[in-house]
Structure 1
Amino acid sequence: MKPSMTRIFVGVLSVIAGLLAVFNPLSASVAATTLTGWALVIVGALQGYSAWQSSGMRVRLGTGIGAAAALSMGLLLLFGSFAEGSFLRTLLGVLLLISGVAKLWFSRQLRQDPLFLVIIAAGVVSLLLGAAVLTGVPGFLARSLGVVLGLELMANGVALIVLSMRPTPPSRLR
């Protein structure tokens, strides 16, 4: 499978999983966390595969960092209830920040591209979610973990879909 087709597939999967998480936040917390955790693990693994298949080192590194953050968030959600909630919240917030920084770092390579603003917006969404989780906006994480993770999945998915729509990568990304 070509890297662009992998990105489309992963992006669509991420957006669908994100929508499911956002529109179903009041369902059982365990179910939402498990669904989102598995979605992040799958998206992270497929995004990692896409990074491995990329030809340019900058693309590979940027995509790989985002994949590691998504994979870590998913594993944290699936197996992370081993500590008190503040540890989980802190680690999740840090991983969201890393995901946002990775998107912003990658977007700087696309400054001349019309898709630049979409990638910037996806990075800013991740950064804002990470900041909201870390600052402990009163009850934000406790009441809407599914929404936070759903928005992250959608931001990640939109960024991947937009990147896959590019006809050919610019030479500076190789």
Structure 2
Amino acid sequence: MSRTLWLVIGVISILGGIFALFNPLSASFAAEQLAGFIFLFVGILQFIALFRAPSTSGKVLAALGGVLGVFIGIELLQNPMQGILTLTMAIAILFMATGLVRMVVAFGLKGSPAFVPVLLSGLISIALAILIFSGYPQSSIYTLGVLLAIELISNGVSLIMYSRVQLLLERH
């Protein structure tokens, strides 16, 4: 990816985070509903892939993926409160995983200007995961929106710094 694209994605991430901070409840519901539609769409695509799969095992996997995707999508769309609780837990796991990955990436950038911001971004993601795990499920509705906002802003800053590193590498 070009450094300009990293920069644009970083700015969009920061803007999305600011929007989510202004209305965390709406951000929580929007994320839950979007996830429901995505699961439903992917499930339908799996069913379409079923007819193109060359082998029986491919057909079985496509059918299972389709059923699972459609089921999860419908469940999220029909029961948004339960969906928010489920997605809150999934986000906590995702924050922990991405935080650990960012820390590994940061140490690969040691000595560059991006080292500290990428390392901090990883630490923030891990701290957010711990906050979600410790407050679950009581504050999931507002917490999900706020934590998503913070994660988007942190991710945006990290991507902008990565874009700067790419610029420096291109000049040398």
TM over 0.5: yes
Query: What is the percent sequence identity of the aligned residues?
Result: 30
Q: Answer yes or no: is the 8 Å Cα contact 1:132–1:140 preserved in 2.
A: no
Amino acid at match of 2:105: F
Q: Answer yes or no: is the 8 Å Cα contact 1:33–1:146 preserved in 2.
A: no
**Distance change in 2, residues 1:17/1:140 (3 Å):** same
Instruction: Within 5 Å, give how 1:88-99 maps onto structure 2.
Output: 88-99=87-98
Q: Whole-Å Cα distance in 2 between the matches of residues 108 and 14 of structure 1?
A: 23
Q: Report how many aligned residue pairs link the two structures.
A: 129
Q: Whole-Å Cα distance in 2 between the matches of residues 29 and 144 of structure 1?
A: 8
Q: Whole-Å Cα distance in 2 between the matches of residues 142 and 17 of structure 1?
A: 18
Could you tell which deviates more after superposition, 24-33 or 142-151? Answer: 24-33
Q: Whole-Å Cα distance in 2 between the matches of residues 19 and 34 of structure 1?
A: 20
Q: Whole-Å Cα distance in 1 between the matches of residues 10 and 86 of structure 2?
A: 29
Aligned to 1:161: 160
How far residue 159 of structure 1 moved from its aligned partner, in angstroms, is 0.4
Q: Answer yes or no: is the 8 Å Cα contact 1:15–1:157 preserved in 2.
A: yes
Aligned to 1:81: 76
3-state SS in 1 of match to 2:169: coil
Runs of 5+ unmatched residues, structure 2: 36-68
Aligned to 1:55: none
2:9 maps to 1:14: no
Amino acid at match of 2:161: V
Could you tell which deviates more after superposition, 13-22 or 108-117? Answer: 108-117
**Distance change in 2, residues 1:26/1:90 (3 Å):** closer
Q: Answer yes or no: is the 8 Å Cα contact 1:19–1:154 preserved in 2.
A: yes
**Distance change in 2, residues 1:29/1:98 (3 Å):** closer
How far residue 34 of structure 1 moved from its aligned partner, in angstroms, is 4.9
Q: Whole-Å Cα distance in 1 between the matches of residues 116 and 9 of structure 2?
A: 20
Q: Which has the higher helix share?
A: 2
How far residue 27 of structure 1 moved from its aligned partner, in angstroms, is 4.1
**Distance change in 2, residues 1:30/1:7 (3 Å):** same
**Distance change in 2, residues 1:94/1:27 (3 Å):** closer
How far residue 32 of structure 1 moved from its aligned partner, in angstroms, is 6.0
Runs of 5+ unmatched residues, structure 1: 38-74
Per the normalisation by structure 2, the TM-score is 0.63
Per the normalisation by structure 1, the TM-score is 0.62
Q: Whole-Å Cα distance in 2 between the matches of residues 124 and 140 of structure 1?
A: 22
Aligned to 1:63: none
Q: Answer yes or no: is the 8 Å Cα contact 2:114–2:158 preserved in 1.
A: no
CA RMSD, Structure 1 to Structure 2 (Å): 3.0
**Distance change in 2, residues 1:120/1:29 (3 Å):** closer
Q: Whole-Å Cα distance in 2 between the matches of residues 96 and 28 of structure 1?
A: 17
Structure possessing the higher radius of gyration over alpha carbons? 2
